[in-house]
Structure 1
C-alpha cells in the first residue's frame, strides 16, 4: 500500500504532488502542452451541465412524492457543488497553477537551505496533509460506492422487487434520479441510464475528492509556514560571535519576505476558494436539513435512510474539514508576532528595536478565509450551520405533529 502511494509523490511538488495528480487524473488540472486532452475534458465537463438540468427536471416531476424529491434534492445538490468546483478550476486554471507553482518553489527553496528545524516542521505538516488527503479520498470513495451499489444490490438481492418490476408494479431503482429522453424503466434503457449515472458519479466524486483535498493541503501549508515564520522570528537574535548587524538585518528581511509571500498566496487562494465555498455552504445547509428530515420520515425506505446517513456524515465531515483548517490558519496567523516578542529583543540597541517593532506590527495581520461575503471558514461558522440545521429539523417535526 505504501509503495503504491509513493507513486503519487512528485519531487517538483513536494507537498502538492498527490493532489495535483488526482486533479490531473480527472482532467481538472490542465497543464500546458496537452491541448487536445484539455479540450476533450472541457467538452465532457460542459456536457455534464445537461445532466444537472435533467436532474432538476426529474425533481420537478417528483414534487408529488416527498421522499423521492428529498433524495433527488440531495443528489442534485452534490451535482451543483461538483459543477461549481470544476468550473472554477477550468476558468481560473492559470491562477491555480500560479498558486501551486509558488508553493512548490517556496518549499524547494527551503529544502535546499537544509535547516533541520524547518525540514522537520515541513515533514510534520506534509505527513498530516497526506493522512487527511488519503482519508478524505477514502471517505469520498465509500460514499460513491454506497451510492452506486445500494440500488444495484437491492435489485440483485430482492426477488420480490424483480417480480414487481416485471409485473409493472414497481420501477427499476435508479442510482441517481435523473430524467432521460428514453424509457429508463425497461431494458435496455435501464442499462444505458445506469452507465451514464455511474460515469457521472465517478466523475463527480473524483472532482470533489481532488478539489477538497488540494484546498485542505494548501491551508495546511499556510499554517505550517506560519509556524516556521514564528520560529524564524524567535531566532532573529540567535547570532554567532562573528555575526553582527548585517546578519540581524538579513534575518529581519527574510521574515518580511516570508510573511509577504504567505499573505500574497493566501489572498490568491481565498479569491479562488471563496466563491466555491459560498455556494457550498448555502447548498450544504439546505441539504443537511433535507437529509435529516428524510431519515426520520416514516415513509422513507431502508435504502433511502441508509443514503441519508451516509450523505449527512460525508457533508458534515467535508464542512468540518474546511472550517477547522480555516480556523487553524486564522489562529496561527494571529500568533505569529508572538515569535518576535519571544526573541532576545532586549539585547538590541534602540535602532534595531525599531526594526523589531515594525516587523511585529506587520506580522499582526490575521489570515481569514471567507465563504462569500457573508461567512468565514471558522469553527463558529460550522457550529452555526449545525445549529441552524437542527432548528430547521425541530420546526419541521413540530409542523408534522400538528393535526
Structure 2
C-alpha cells in the first residue's frame, strides 16, 4: 500500500482548536494520517478493514431485505440501519477517491485559522473562542446521541434474547442470511459479537464523519464573522481631516481593504471547493433520508415494545440531527456572506479618499452575489430541511394508510 505525501497531514493540524475535536476520531478510524504517526501503513490498513467490514455487513442487510420483501414491518426495521450504512460507506469511498482534495481543504482551514489568530484583536478572539466552544458542545451532543442509539440497540437485542416471553425465532435480529436456522439460540453468541463489532465501527465513523464535515463549514462561518467584524470596524479619518490624511495612513487603510478583499475571495473559493466535496453526499441524503425517517416512524408506530419505541426515537433524533447540521450551517454561511456588503457600508467609508471608495465599492458589488451552497440543484437551506421532514411525514401517512 503506497502512501503519498499529499495524503499525510502536518502534526500541527491536529492541534488546531477548531478541528482537533473531529480529526482525532478520523485518525483513530484510520483514514487520516499525520507525519509523526508510527506504523502509518498499519493504521491505513485498519481503516480499510473497518470499511470492508461495514461493506460486507451492508451487503448482508440487502440480502436480508430481499428475503423479507413484502413484509412491511421487517422491511422498515431493516431499512433504517441499511440505508444509514449505505450512505456512510459511499462517503468513505468518496473520501478514499478524493483523499488529496479532502486533505487540502483541511490544510487550508488550518492555515486560514492560524492567519486569523495572528491578526486577531480581542473582539475577534472572542468570535473564535465562541466558535471553538460551539464545536465542542456540538460534538459532545451528537456523540451522546449516536452512542445512546447504537448501544440501546445492542442492549435491546440482549434483553430480547433472554426474555422468556420472546420466541426463539424472533431473538436473532441480524445476519439472518448467514444463519437461516429457525432456532436463533444456536448461533446467538457469534451473531451478537458481530453486531457489537459492527455497531462499534458504525458509532465510531458516523458521528466522526458528520462532525468533521460540519467543522469545515463552521470554519467558513467563523472566518466570515471575523471578516464582517473587520469591515464594520474599519475606520478612516473624519471629513475635516481628510485633506490632511498622511500618505502612510492612506496606505495602511488601503492595505486593510485589500486584505479583506483577498480574504473574501479565498473564503468563497474554499466554500465552492467544500460544496464540490459535499454535494454528492448531501444530495444522497436528500433522496434517502426521507425514506429512512419514514421507515423509523412506521416502525415506532407498529411496535409494542417501549424499548423499541425509545430506540426509534433516538434513531430519528440522530438522523434529523445529521440533516439539520448540514442545512443549518449552510444557511449560516449564506447569512454571514450576505452581511458582508452591509458591514462594509457600516464602516466610515464617507471619510475615505476616492481611490479607497472605489475599492470598497468593488468589494460591495462582489459581495451582493449570494454565497449559497447547493447539493447539485438542491439549495442547502432550512427551507429544504423542512421540506425533507414534510416529505417523510407524508410518506409515513401513506404507508400507514396502505398497511391498514
TM-score over 0.5 for the alignment? Answer: yes
Map 1:288-367 to 2 at 5 A.
288-297=293-302, 301-367=305-371
Aligned to 1:71, which of 63, 72, 77?
Answer: 77
Q: Is the contact made by 2:143 and 2:207 (CA closer than 8 Å) also made in structure 1?
A: yes
Let me know the Cα RMSD of the aligned residues.
2.4
* DSSP 3-state at the match of 1:159: coil
1:23 touches 1:29 (CA, 8 Å); kept in 2? yes
| 1:20-72 residue CA offsets vs partner (Å, 9 max, x unmatched) | 00111122323466123213421441343222111100111112432122101
- How far the C-alpha of 1:308 sits from its partner, in A, is 2.5
Secondary structure of 1:336's match?
Answer: helix
1:245 aligns with 2:245: no
1:359-389 Cα distance to aligned partner (Å, 9 max, x none)? 1112223222222x23122100011111112
Structure-2 residue corresponding to 1:3? none
1:198/1:327 CA distance change after superposition, 3 Å? same
Deviation readout 1:310-369 (Å, 9 max, x if unpaired) = 222221122122211111111111111111100111112322211111111122232222
Structure 1 residue 80: Cα displacement: 0.5
Q: Identify which of 185, 195, 198 aligns with 1:197.
A: 195
State how far apart, in whole Å, the 2-side matches of 1:185 and 1:382 are. Answer: 44
Task: Report which stretch shifted further, 9-18 or 304-313.
Answer: 9-18
Q: Distance in 1 between matches of 2:43 and 2:183?
A: 35
CA contact (8 A) 1:326 1:368 kept: yes
Q: Is the 8 A contact 1:85 1:207 kept in 2?
A: no
Q: Answer yes or no: is the 8 Å Cα contact 2:172–2:191 preserved in 1.
A: no
Aligned length: 383
Q: Give the equivalent residue in structure 1 for 2:135.
A: 129
Query: Which whole-Å deviations, capped at 9, do the CAs of 1:191-243 have from their partners, x for residues lacking one?
Result: 11211221111111211101111122222221121111112112333469764
- Whole-Å separation in 1 of the counterparts to 2:219 and 2:100: 20
Aligned to 1:275: 280
* Residue from 87, 90, 98 that aligns with 1:84: 90
Residues 184 and 193 in structure 1, CA contact (< 8 A), matched pair in contact too: no
Tell me what 2:6 maps to.
Answer: none
Name the residue aligned to 2:21.
18
Measured after TM superposition, the shift of residue 301 of structure 1 is: 4.6
- Paired position in structure 1 for 2:47: 41
Structure 1 residue ranges without an equivalent (≥5): 1-8
Do 2:50 and 2:201's aligned partners in 1 also have CA atoms closer than 8 Å?
Answer: no
2:85 and 2:17 mapped to 1: Cα distance?
32
- 182 and 29 in structure 1: CA distance in 2 versus 1, 3 angstrom threshold: farther
Match status 1:235 vs 2:195: no
Please say if residues 59 and 72 of structure 1, whose CA atoms lie closer than 8 Å, have aligned partners that are also in contact: yes
Partner residue in 2 for 1:5: none
> Could you tell me the TM-score, scaled by structure 2's length?
0.87
1:138 aligns to 2:136 (yes or no): no
Whether the aligned pair in 2 keeps the contact of 1:326 and 1:369 (CA below 8 Å) is yes
Whether the 8 Å CA contact 1:14–1:107 is kept in 2: the answer is no
1:287 is matched with 292
Partner of 1:172: 171
Q: Which runs of 5+ in 2 are unaligned?
A: 1-11, 239-244
Query: Aligned pair in 2 of structure 1 residues 239, 191: CA closer, same or farther (>3 Å)?
Result: farther
CA contact (8 A) 1:183 1:190 kept: no
Q: Counterparts of 2:349 and 2:319 in 1: how far apart (Å)?
A: 47
The answer to whether the 8 Å contact 1:147/1:307 transfers is yes
* Match of residue 4 from structure 2: none
- Distance 1:184-1:264 versus aligned 2 partners, 3 A rule: farther
Please list, as runs of the form range in 1=range in 2, the aligned pairs for 1:46-125 lying within 5 A after superposition.
46-125=52-131
Paired residue secondary structure (1:296): helix
- Cα distance, 1:121 vs. partner? 1.0
